[in-house]
Amino acid sequence: MTPNQNKLLMSKLRQPVHISYISKYILKESEEETLRILNLLIDENQIEESPLSKGYYVVKVQEIQN
């Protein structure tokens, strides 16, 4: 994933977005490749699958530590 794709993806994932939309219009990759990329970002704790709907992804809200 290029830095521009990463920046675009993170800006779009402020609201939950379905994997098919991410694949077709944001990353312009196959759904399999998109899922691989999303899983890497989940492992890096940057995004998460929306708790409201399966197949939708959103930027993970970082908890503030005191």
**Which pLDDT band holds residue 64 (cuts at 50, 70, 90)?**
low
Q: Given CA atoms 38, 9, 5, 63 in this order, what sign does their dihedral have?
A: negative
pLDDT above 70: residue 65? no
Phi, psi values for residue 49, rounded to 5°: -75, 135
**Which pLDDT band holds residue 66 (cuts at 50, 70, 90)?**
low
- Give me the pLDDT at residue 61, please: 78
Per residue in 25-59, pLDDT (tens digit) is: 999 999 999 999 999 999 999 999 998 899 999 99
- Give me the pLDDT at residue 60, please: 86
